[in-house]
Amino acid sequence: MLFRSIASLRNMTKNICRAMSLTCSKNKVYGRAKKSELSMIVELGHFALALALAFASVLISAQQPASTKAVSDAPVSLSQYRQWVAAAQPASPPQPKKGPVVPPPPVDFRPADEAFLQVLTLQARVAAARQSQDRLAGWHAAIKPRVDNQSIAALDVDILTLAEKRAGADAARLESDLRRVVDRANTLAARPSGTALLASVDTTEASGPDAEGLSAMEKDVLVRGRDLLVKMFQSFTVGGGEITELLWYESQATEAETNYRVWSARAGFDAAVKALGTGH
């Protein structure tokens, strides 16, 4: 879009120059052109050039934040993060004029790997906490109409509201912790504080006991737990259960979801480190 706009303004400038040429040819000799005509044409040329520069500057500044955000929000692998950390290392001392060339020491990626793993772990915990909050909010919205016809006690609604707000507070606390570890990871990579960092690993690369355990946990615990929660909530809405019992099972399901996400992130991280090497 930027280049098309500049091309259009360039064509406008060419048309103005063509008009200048025509005006001069009508007067046979360039020196005989009327001063008023020449002055007007020169001013138009200056205006077109200034407009082109200003318009290009506006377009570039308007496009820059979107481009930066797209890069910041893109998932970052451990390999890419290590590249940033390596590039942020201080320059090697100058080589001696005589004698063998001394290779630079290898980069110790252990602090960077630890920071990356912390980001991964907290991302998993935040995702599980937000999932719990969304589930409680959905239940709250679903039972609201039943309060008006008194099929559900107002006290049960208050208890559910408190649980929803508590889940939101837990998620906000975890997000605050995540921002701190992201800032530390950005510091190690010489990136500006506050820059988004979405750590990512391929969880399908997990092998051995991790892969088997994650698969069993997903099928035997997570899927069954979600189905059980749906049935328990439906039973509660028709008076077949207590809100405290429902919330207890919901907390157990959230804990299982958190453990699964953290385990999955750790297994993917271990697989990535194994593929890349420790780097020290």
pLDDT in tens, 2-56: 444 445 545 554 554 455 454 445 444 444 444 455 455 445 454 444 444 444 4
Extract long-range pairs of 4-7: CB within 8 Å, 24+ residues apart: 5/55, 5/56, 5/59, 6/52, 6/55, 6/56
Pure H helices in 189-242: 209-217, 224-237
Q: Are 24 and 33 in contact (CB under 8 A)?
A: yes
Average pLDDT over residues 81-100: 80
Highest mean pLDDT among 21-25, 82-86, 90-94: 82-86
The DSSP call for residue 190 is T
Question: Between these two residues, 26 and 230, which has the higher pLDDT value?
Answer: 230
Give tens-digit pLDDT for 117-172. 999 999 999 999 999 999 999 999 998 887 776 778 889 999 999 999 999 999 99
Cα dihedral 68/71/73/79 (nearest 10):
-150
Q: Which residues contact 80 (CB under 8 A, 6 or more apart)?
A: none
Count of positions (residues) in the chain: 280
Percentage of residues of the chain with pLDDT beyond 90: 50
pLDDT band at 277 (very low <50, low <70, confident <90, very high): confident
The per-residue pLDDT for 24 is: 46
What residues pair up with 75 in beta bridges, in sequence order? 198
Q: Are 131 and 251 in contact (CB under 8 A)?
A: no
